[in-house]
Structure 1
Amino acid sequence: MKHRLLILGTLGEFVQLVQKACEKGYYTIVCDGYPDGPARAFADEAFQIPVTDTEQIACLCREKEIDGILTSFSDLLLECMVKIADRAGIPCYLKPEQLPWYRDKSATRALLIELGLPTPGFRKIPIAYFKDRSKRTQLKELLEGLRYPVVSKPLDKYGSRGIYISEDLEELINGAEKTAGFSDMPEILVEEYNDGYEFNMMTWVRHGKVHVISIADREKTFVAKGEIPISTRNVYPSRLLSKVEKPATELLQAYADRTGQKDGALSMQFFWKPGEGIQVCEIAARFFGYEHELTDMVYGFNMEELLLASLYEPDKLKKMLAEHDVHKPQCCGAVIYFQGRLLTIGDQSAAVRLGEKEQVEKPWIFYQEGEKVIEHGPNPYLALYYVKTENRKEMDLLTEEFYEKMHILDPNGQEVAYHNQIPDYTPAEK
């Protein structure tokens, strides 16, 4: 009998997954709330239902006799998939009761502390304490022991939304009120800010064992006081792989052991400083969006094949993981991101020319001329470029050229794109 697969998500990142599923002969249905999602064009059937309407999608799964469900690249999509699978009786690598360890920042921090694993000092504080001046003494007591600078974060949002850096209590009070505007919860998270080198790590758990797929340098650029630095380049493999691979893998293995995750995607953003070791930023049970393509480019390891094999081809899954070696890249690969000011797009010709360079595997310009840049809208960046070179030295030279020549102007000639910078790795490599 032909497998019947539901893929939760229709935006550009899901096109290859849908195409591969159809090529394998699976009857493929896609679903989310976006009417114009490009993956819809490649599926056997497509439905427009908001992913948060898990009960309706579960009913759809039962009606269509779905025997497998997949998604990735988004924490919200993961959460909805787990709930849909549970309600529809479809196999899934997580159960709803495990979600807080991957979706609730305070639950993640509490579990890390319970396991004795490195995490920033944090407090979960009611928003009322920041708004009511009569509670200042109590607020100071709640914050006692935290080292400034700190960041304020919503407990229920991801994608760097509503996160602000504060150097002292007064800045924190202002930042916390802005954070509260992004949250639907009565509390926010306040945690110590780590300015160390940052990394993205993607792994797969099979039969309870963590298999490392990739570790990348997650580079950022400072934009403005109080704002967290913006993501500007992720490079594979990490320049500091030998220093972070072992402790990061051990940490994720301990985490998966405790949460009971036996199979499925497991990713982590973490920090590392010379002499201080690693410290967790976020842990997620899915792959990173706008980045998983680099494992294919750098290692010949295709994430879509992995996801589909995890459902229907267990022997292939075992073989893929056994043959993959994170220490043997075929090249150096990176995704270069450009973010920008909330202005109207005018001239993008320089951005288009950069996309025509021979080292660019895929350019992705998100806005059309005449459109206004929207904060936290459907377009996550102004533009991104997947680029490939023989080694890291060539990658850095190419990146510097991108940073120098990238310009997106508004109709008045004002620069829309932020200017990116490559961090200094000298202290880490001593």
Structure 2
Amino acid sequence: MKHRLLILGTLGEFVQLVKKSKERGYYTIVCDGYPDGPARQYADASYVISVTDIDAVAELCQKEKVDGIVTSFSDLLMECMVKIAEKAGLPCYLKPEQLCWYRDKSACRELLSKLGLPTPGFVKVPAAEQNEYKLAEITAGLKYPLISKPLDKYGSRGIFIIKDQEQLAGSVRKTAEFTDLDEILIEEYNDGFEFNMMTWVSDGAVRVISIADREKTQFAEGELPESTRNVYPSCLIDKVEESAVSLLQSYVEYTGQKEGPLSMQFFWKAGEGIQVCEIAARFFGYEHELTDMVYRFNMEELLLNYVYDNEYVTKMLEAQDIRKPLMHGAVLYFHGRLKQIQEQQAAYELAEDKAVVKPWIFYEAGEEVVAYGPNPYLALYYIEAGSREELDEITRDFFKKMSMTDPDGEEIVFQNKIPKYSL
């Protein structure tokens, strides 16, 4: 009988997943709240239902006789998939009772502390608290600089750097505007090198798929630096892999995750070791394409194999060696001011560069840049080269040439920077 697969998500990063599902002969259904999601045009059936309406999507599964469900690239989508799978009686790598350790930032921090694993010092603060002395008392055990962040949001929303006690109350107030909860998180800020690691849990064992350098640029004083380039493979693999895998192994042994995707953002400083930033039970959006470019390891194939052909998951993982890239690759992210775009010829010219594997320009001329919509960046480019040195040279050229201007001729694009890796 022909498999009937529900893919939760229709934005651009799901297009390849839908196409590959169709190529395998699966009857492919897509669903989310975006009526114009580009993945819809490739599916056999398409539904516009908010992913947070668990009952409605579970009813859809019954109606369409769905026998498999998959998603990735977003914490919210992952959470909804787990709940929908439980409601509809579909297989899934997590149960709802396990979600707190992957979705609740405070629960994650508390578990890391309980297990004795390295994580920034943190406290939870009442979102309504504005008394400077009370806040100073609550955070007395933490070392500046700090950051304030919501416990219920994603995508770096509402996160601010706190340099000293004078900025504490103001940052708490700004973060509180982004949360629906009664508390926010205050934690120590780590300014070390940052990494994205994607793994797969197979029969309870953590298997590494990739480790990338996650490079960031600070665009405004007091705001968290934004991700501006992720590079595969990391130039510091030998310094971080063993301890990062060991940490994740301890984590899943407690949470009970036996199968499925598992990703971690973490920091490393010479002489201080690694420190966890975030742990997620999904792959990174707008980045999983790099494993295909650099290693010919396709994440869409892995996700589909897990749902319907699990023996190939083991074969894929056994063949993967993060120290043997076929290419060096990076994704370049460009952020900008919230203005109307008038001219972006430079962005289109860069898209034609021979180093570009795939360009993604998110706005048309005349459109307004928005902060938290379906378009997370002005543009991004997947680039590849034969060496890290060549990749860095291409990156600098892109950072120098990239430009979009508003109707007054003012520059919209923020200027990206490459960090120095002097150790």
Q: TM-score w.r.t. structure 2 length?
A: 0.99
Which AA in structure 1 matches 2:80? C
Equivalent residue, structure 1, for 2:252: 256
Equivalent residue, structure 2, for 1:367: 363
Deviation per CA, 1:122-176, whole angstroms, max 9, x where unpaired?
A: 001111222xx3xx43322211110011000000001000000011223121111
Equivalent residue, structure 2, for 1:233: 229
Equivalent residue, structure 2, for 1:74: 74
Equivalent residue, structure 2, for 1:31: 31
Between the aligned partners of 2:220 and 2:39, the Cα distance in structure 1 is 37
Deviation per CA, 1:280-339, whole angstroms, max 9, x where unpaired?
A: 000000000000000000000000000000011111111111111111100100000100
Between the aligned partners of 1:174 and 1:318, the Cα distance in structure 2 is 50
1:190 to 2:191 alignment: no
Between the aligned partners of 2:389 and 2:213, the Cα distance in structure 1 is 14
- 1:410-421 equivalences in 2 (<5 Å): 410-421=406-417
Further displaced range: 71-80 or 402-411 = 402-411
Paired residue for 1:409, among 394, 405, 408? 405
Between the aligned partners of 1:326 and 1:369, the Cα distance in structure 2 is 40
**Contact 1:149/1:165 (8 A) holds in 2:** yes
Equivalent residue, structure 1, for 2:56: 56
Cα distance, 1:62 vs. partner? 1.3
Further displaced range: 116-125 or 60-69 = 60-69
Between the aligned partners of 2:173 and 2:10, the Cα distance in structure 1 is 34
Cα distance, 1:346 vs. partner? 1.1
SS in 1 for 2:136: helix
- 1:196-215 equivalences in 2 (<5 Å): 196-215=192-211
Equivalent residue, structure 1, for 2:7: 7
SS in 1 for 2:57: helix
Between the aligned partners of 1:67 and 1:19, the Cα distance in structure 2 is 18
- 1:143-292 equivalences in 2 (<5 Å): 143-292=139-288
**Contact 1:165/1:172 (8 A) holds in 2:** no
SS in 2 for 1:279: strand
Cα distance, 1:378 vs. partner? 1.3
**Contact 1:117/1:251 (8 A) holds in 2:** yes
Which AA in structure 2 matches 1:382? L
Q: Give the % identical residues.
A: 65
**Contact 2:128/2:173 (8 A) holds in 1:** no
Between the aligned partners of 1:137 and 1:401, the Cα distance in structure 2 is 49
**Contact 1:155/1:185 (8 A) holds in 2:** yes
- 1:311-390 equivalences in 2 (<5 Å): 311-390=307-386
Deviation per CA, 1:217-257, whole angstroms, max 9, x where unpaired?
A: 00001211110111100000001011001100100111111
The count of corresponding residues between Structure 1 and Structure 2 is 423
Q: For structure 1, which runs of at least 5 residues remain unmatched after alignment? A: none
SS in 2 for 1:128: coil
SS in 2 for 1:171: helix
Equivalent residue, structure 2, for 1:88: 88
Cα distance, 1:193 vs. partner? 0.4
**Contact 2:128/2:176 (8 A) holds in 1:** no
Which AA in structure 2 matches 1:206? S
Deviation per CA, 1:198-222, whole angstroms, max 9, x where unpaired?
A: 0000000010011100000000012
Q: For structure 2, which runs of at least 5 residues remain unmatched after alignment? A: none
RMSD: 0.7
Between the aligned partners of 1:48 and 1:407, the Cα distance in structure 2 is 35
Deviation per CA, 1:19-56, whole angstroms, max 9, x where unpaired?
A: 11111111111000110111111111000000000111
1:306 to 2:302 alignment: yes
**Contact 1:9/1:77 (8 A) holds in 2:** yes
Between the aligned partners of 2:358 and 2:136, the Cα distance in structure 1 is 50
Q: TM-score w.r.t. structure 1 length?
A: 0.97
